[in-house]
Amino acid sequence: MKNKILIANRGEIAVRVIRAAKELGIETVAVYSTADETSLHVKLADEAICIGGNQSKQSYLNMNSVLSAAISTGCNAIHPGYGFLSENSEFVEMVERCNIIFIGPKSKTIGLIGDKASARKIAKENGVPIVEGSDGVVEDVHEGLKIAKKIGYPVMIKASSGGGGRGISIVRSDEEFMGAFERTSMEAETSFGDKALYIEKFIESPRHIEVQIMADTKGNVVHLFERDCSMQRRNQKMIEEAPSPVLNDILRRKIGAASIKLAKAIDYVNAGTMEYIVDSKGNFYFIEMNTRIQVEHPVTEAITGIDLVKEQIKVAYGKELSFKQRDIKINGHAIECRINAENAMKGFIPTPGKINNILFPGGLGIRIDTHIYPGYEVPPFYDSMIAKLIVHAPTRREAIKKMRVALEQFVVEGIATNIEYQYLIMHNPDFIKGQYDTGFIARFNVLVEAENRE
């Protein structure tokens, strides 16, 4: 049977998967909502099929529609991208029952480690440090309050099935707890269809570090070093870089070894990411595992020279990893800026609409992953990210300089974007020195807003 992949996603990641598949000589099928009929991934795939209406639940989250599209077009594999159904164990189980290859881990693995409370338990059992908190899901608000009092404020109330920065509340007192618990539970049920919550101690001013894992069906598990994702706004990443400017070689080896140990403990296969927070003393704590390719995977590709998406596809089709741990070296420094259709100077309000013209930057060490083009209409129904700008240079300082020039030359006409905001960050003294944490953007916003008022 000829290999054929359905891409169960949209936007830049769908384009990214199509390109990787084409390089491997594999045909692709794009799925799209009625709002995405003119999107680039629809134009680039060998075939395209409409799976429903504008809203995600009518299309990209509609398991039956996605699976029917794969069967009707004769696909023998599905690549989920990120978001949508990528970490839905029920969907993956349906795919497996239809004897279609899921380009990712098994449904059982996703159910085990994708549940954040279960993942904490597994990490603890395998000697991987975790933040103090509840032993699994809390029964109700009263149990949650009891745990919060025991471990001390501030605490985080987190959705067990959460992701993408949603389903998280930071609570600093008993008075705040009950209301925050109810709100987070409702958000979790709305966003993930699961209102289960767990409690975790909130560490002030941490770094958010994640480790890229790749594993095959032959028992080979490797890490491809770390990414620093501390530049966040409301738990949504904005800028990522690799390697992290705060990890020394000893800590890098420790966090890499812990990630491999955890992946082996759950018989993990394909691409995955172990997420940690690192405190000011250099202690690291496991928080969750993402069982899919990440938005920010290009910075890892830049410093290692390994095409993670092609590797995903090859592993899913039963091939052995094309590299060993000893083959992976850090080469230079990479930074990614997420370019969003939003007005950063006006509270980051979304700015859907027609793109009249685009000028992309170029040159050595500059990469753009996108699905936009002149005349493209950015729909209001999905995530606001319209492009990723990635730069690679021999040193971090050179990468920052390269990113500044690239942002200067990145022009999008017709809608407001956050390009200027990212440009300002690239000139911030603390960012330049690598002295930032997950609270940086909140503090930076105060400065930007003050300047705008003057």
Cβ-contact 323, 306 below 8 angstroms: yes
Query: What CA–CA distance (Å, rounded) separates 338 from 207?
Result: 19
**How far is Cα of residue 377 from the mean position of the Cα atoms in its chain?**
24
Query: What CA–CA distance (Å, rounded) separates 63 from 67?
Result: 6
Q: Judge whether 292 counts as a catalytic residue.
A: yes
Q: Which of 16, 233, 292, 338 is catalytic?
A: 292
- 3 state SS of 389: strand
103, 104, 109, 111 alpha-carbon torsion, rounded to 10°:
-90
Query: What CA–CA distance (Å, rounded) separates 238 from 222?
Result: 27
- 3 state SS of 36: helix
Question: Please, which residues have CB within 8 angstroms of residue 240's CB and are 6 or more apart in sequence?
Answer: 227, 228, 229, 231, 295, 296, 299, 335, 336
Query: What CA–CA distance (Å, rounded) separates 73 from 50?
Result: 12
Backbone CA torsion sign across 425, 426, 428, 434? positive
Query: What CA–CA distance (Å, rounded) separates 432 from 208?
Result: 17
Known catalytic residues? 292
